[in-house]
């Protein structure tokens, strides 16, 4: 073999070896890349099947009725309370379009995003005689506009220069100003319903939910930071502080209350409907704005939930005054909780509950709205599944935290079920009865803003590569910016994210009290609230030698025999 041939052969050999090395390296880095690409494309098609049918059959009205290929103007109907009739000239608020804005960006469709922004800029108005639910309008419309404005003005230049002049922010500010009269109550707690044109109506109902007045701080706080108008954040903050002052001695809150008297109406509470996003916005408000006040609230509230609501992997409801169980039931909205637990690093607890939700999903094919744990049966009247996103959301968070491929399998199962049971020619329909998969003629806007988004991000998280975001309870991304922080907590400095050591810190403190993510490599730390016993064999001389139980978050005590345990509960 000539030297030239030998040189060519060696070069070819090196190229082949290099190619094999690169391929093997990529495979080792992410052996599931092929599957993730296939599934992300599958979810992309799901989103556009829902979105295109909305644009074709329902736009500019609020939501699509996929079975009849018509529309519903649902913005003033959210909340299932007595409704006022909309004026005949009302053509909807393009709710599903607003809810789709950030999803379009995450899917990389900047052209459609630009078209949607232009249409909203030229056509959307809130000067209409329509009675709307404050909480729902805040998380869906205000949150959608604020998030889309940020995405339209960030450094990626998604919109052509000169075509966008803060029109979405102007709309958001106008809407926020229309919200403010709702907070004009003796307590500062806002009315649940308000007329966009005329404010609070005469003889308006005074009952609202804990979520309704305690889950406004992200959207209204972000609006204040963007407009330099503190009224929005101040109104939401005053309501949140008042609500927190109404907690029981157990640090529990009820479900419904009177905004004028500040008295509780429903004392039974849990982590599901009416309360869920209250907990969510405490921790996310702390991350977004750096307020230590929010963290202190969340820490006490989270520990109270773990102590009084948790029973094994399940969470029941209990009386806020006594902590006694009231209803043993699983609700589909509770499925957000594992995702919240990921944010505080309580991965073991999150995984435990998540697997139970997956079990129920597999049992019925989807997640029923309410399942009676004490009877192991469906609730007789709440057997529906309205395309909710909470299980997909928690699956996304847990995969981000663990990279366990089992969560990809769960996501694939969710996608397959949605396509099998809910996809119709005109979009995706809700399920009226999970026992026979009878369909209901409604494609909720959150299917576009949350369900498809979290499933897509599970398989393709490239949107998150260069920016930290928190997602609102409606799935709208808000960037975590140091300029929005009153002070950046030490615990969120990236280099110290899992472990912070200081001689000044107490030796026996939980990860939660230290505001750090539990170190997964430290086997002695089993949860965010866990404090290990002084001795590895659990021997003790006094209660001070005992720690905090990792599951119930209750303080352990020393028995007469000299062992730590939850003896007071036996």
Average pLDDT score over residue span 487-504: 42
Q: Output the pLDDT for position 533.
A: 87
Q: Which stretch of DSSP H or E encloses residue 565?
A: strand 564-565
The tens digit of pLDDT for each residue in 218-250 reads: 999 999 999 999 999 999 999 999 999 999 999
Range with lowest mean pLDDT among 9-23, 405-419, 475-489: 9-23
Average pLDDT score over residue span 308-324: 95
Q: Output the pLDDT for position 378.
A: 94
333/370 Cα distance (integer angstroms): 9
The annotation status of 473 as a binding-site residue, yes or no, is yes
Collect all residues with Cβ–Cβ distance below 8 Å to 209 and sequence separation of at least 6.
135, 192, 255, 256, 257, 274, 275
How many CA atoms lie less than 13 Å away from 252 in the CB half-sphere?
24
Known catalytic residue at 440: no
- Note the residue count of the chain: 570
Distance, first Cα to last Cα, the chain = 85
The tens digit of pLDDT for each residue in 174-188 reads: 999 999 999 999 999
Average pLDDT score over residue span 322-337: 95
Average pLDDT score over residue span 529-558: 86
Does pLDDT of 7 surpass 50?
no
């990860």: which residue's tokens?
A: 511
Average pLDDT score over residue span 335-362: 95
Known catalytic residue at 276: yes
Write out the DSSP string of 159-202: S-TTS-SSHHHHHHHHHHHHHGGGG-SSSSPPPSEEETTTBSPT
Q: Which of 63, 99, 276, 356 is catalytic?
A: 276
Residue 525's pLDDT band, with cuts at 50, 70 and 90, is low
The answer to whether the CB of 475 falls within 8 A of the CB of 454 is yes
Does pLDDT of 203 surpass 80?
yes
The tens digit of pLDDT for each residue in 242-264 reads: 999 999 999 999 999 999 999 99
Q: Output the pLDDT for position 399.
A: 97
Query: Beta-carbon neighbour count of residue 89 at 10 Å?
Result: 7
The tens digit of pLDDT for each residue in 97-121 reads: 999 999 999 999 999 999 999 999 9
Listed residue (136, 322, 158, 336) closest to 216, CA to CA: 136
Residue 472 backbone dihedrals phi, psi, to 5 degrees: -65, 175
Average pLDDT score over residue span 479-491: 74
Residue 28's pLDDT band, with cuts at 50, 70 and 90, is low
Q: Which of 136, 173, 356, 393 is catalytic?
A: 136
Known catalytic residue at 136: yes
């049918």: which residue's tokens?
A: 53
- The CA angle 408-414-416, to the nearest 5 degrees, is 100
**Paired tokens of 33:** 């890349």
Residue 175 backbone dihedrals phi, psi, to 5 degrees: -65, -40
Q: Output the pLDDT for position 178.
A: 98
The tens digit of pLDDT for each residue in 39-98 reads: 999 999 999 999 999 999 999 999 999 999 999 987 765 433 323 333 344 456 899 999
Does pLDDT of 495 surpass 70?
no
Range with lowest mean pLDDT among 14-18, 51-55, 317-321, 406-410: 14-18
What sections of 345-436 are H helices per DSSP? 347-364, 390-402, 406-421
**Paired tokens of 493:** 């400095």
56/70 Cα distance (integer angstroms): 9
* pLDDT > 70: percent of the chain: 86
Q: Output the pLDDT for position 569.
A: 57
Longest CA pairwise span in the chain (Å): 99
Q: Output the pLDDT for position 80.
A: 33
The answer to whether the CB of 288 falls within 8 A of the CB of 470 is yes
Query: Beta-carbon neighbour count of residue 18 at 10 Å?
Result: 10
Q: Output the pLDDT for position 568.
A: 64
């004392």: which residue's tokens?
A: 267
Q: Which of 62, 369, 393, 549 is catalytic?
A: 369
Residue 10's pLDDT band, with cuts at 50, 70 and 90, is very low
Residue 524's pLDDT band, with cuts at 50, 70 and 90, is low
SS (H, E, C) 226-259: HHCCCHHHHHHHHHHHHHHHCCCCCCCCCCEEEC
Q: Output the pLDDT for position 103.
A: 98
SS3 305: helix
The tens digit of pLDDT for each residue in 381-420 reads: 999 999 999 999 999 999 999 999 999 999 999 999 999 9
Q: Output the pLDDT for position 17.
A: 36
DSSP tag of 353: H
């Amino acid at each position: 073999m000539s030297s030239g041939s030998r040189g060519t052969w060696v070069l070819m050999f090196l190229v082949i070896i290099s190619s094999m090395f690169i391929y093997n390296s990529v495979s080792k880095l992410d052996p599931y890349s092929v599957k993730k690409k296939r599934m992300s494309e599958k979810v992309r098609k799901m989103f556009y099947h829902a979105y295109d049918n909305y644009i074709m059959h329902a736009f500019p009205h609020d939501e699509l009725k996929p079975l009849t290929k018509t529309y519903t103007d649902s913005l003033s109907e959210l909340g299932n309370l007595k409704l006022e009739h909309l004026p005949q000239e009302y053509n909807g608020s393009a709710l599903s379009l607003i809810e789709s804005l950030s999803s379009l960006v995450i899917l990389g469709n900047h052209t459609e995003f630009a078209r949607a922004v232009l249409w909203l800029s030229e056509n959307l108005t809130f000067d209409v005689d329509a009675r709307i639910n404050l909480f729902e309008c805040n998380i869906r419309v205000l949150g959608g506009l604020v998030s889309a404005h940020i995405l339209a003005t960030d450094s990626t230049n998604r919109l052509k220069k000169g075509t966008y002049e803060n029109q979405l922010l102007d709309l958001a500010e106008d809407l926020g100003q229309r919200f403010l009269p709702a907070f004009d109550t003796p307590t500062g707690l806002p009315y649940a319903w308000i007329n966009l044109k005329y404010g609070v109506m005469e003889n308006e109902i005074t009952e609202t939910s804990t979520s309704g007045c305690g889950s406004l701080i992200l959207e209204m706080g972000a609006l204040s930071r963007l407009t330099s108008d503190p009224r929005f954040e101040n109104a939401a903050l005053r309501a949140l502080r008042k609500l927190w002052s109404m907690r029981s001695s157990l640090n529990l809150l009820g479900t419904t209350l009177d905004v004028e008297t500040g008295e509780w109406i429903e004392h039974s509470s849990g982590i599901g409907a009416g309360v869920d996003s209250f907990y969510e916005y405490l921790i996310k408000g702390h991350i977004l704005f750096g307020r230590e006040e929010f963290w202190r609230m969340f820490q006490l509230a989270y520990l109270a939930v773990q102590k009084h609501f948790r029973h094994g992997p399940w969470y029941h409801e209990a009386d806020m005054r006594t902590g006694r169980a009231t209803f043993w039931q699983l609700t589909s909205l509770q499925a957000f909780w594992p995702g919240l637990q990921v944010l505080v690093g309580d991965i073991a607890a999150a995984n435990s509950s998540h697997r139970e939700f997956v079990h129920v999903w597999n049992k019925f094919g989807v997640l029923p709205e309410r399942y009676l744990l004490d009877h192991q049966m469906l609730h007789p009247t709440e057997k529906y599944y309205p395309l909710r996103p909470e299980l997909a959301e928690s699956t996304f968070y847990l995969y981000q935290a663990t990279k366990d491929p089992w969560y990809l399998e769960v996501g694939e199962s969710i996608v397959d079920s949605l396509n099998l049971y809910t996809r119709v020619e005109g979009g995706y329909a809700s399920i009226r009865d999970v026992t026979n998969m009878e369909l209901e003629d409604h494609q909720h806007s959150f299917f576009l803003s949350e369900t498809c988004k979290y499933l897509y991000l599970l398989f393709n998280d490239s949107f998150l590569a260069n920016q930290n975001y928190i997602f609102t309870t409606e799935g709208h991304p808000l960037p975590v910016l140091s300029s929005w922080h009153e002070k950046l907590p030490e615990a969120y400095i990236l280099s110290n994210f899992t472990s912070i050591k200081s001689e000044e810190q107490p030796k026996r403190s939980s990860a939660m009290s230290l505001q750090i993510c539990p170190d997964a490599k430290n086997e002695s730390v089993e949860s965010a609230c866990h404090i290990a016993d002084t001795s590895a064999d659990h021997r003790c001389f006094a209660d001070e030698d005992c720690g905090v139980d990792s599951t119930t978050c209750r303080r352990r005590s020393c028995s007469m025999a000299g062992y730590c345990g939850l003896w007071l509960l036996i």
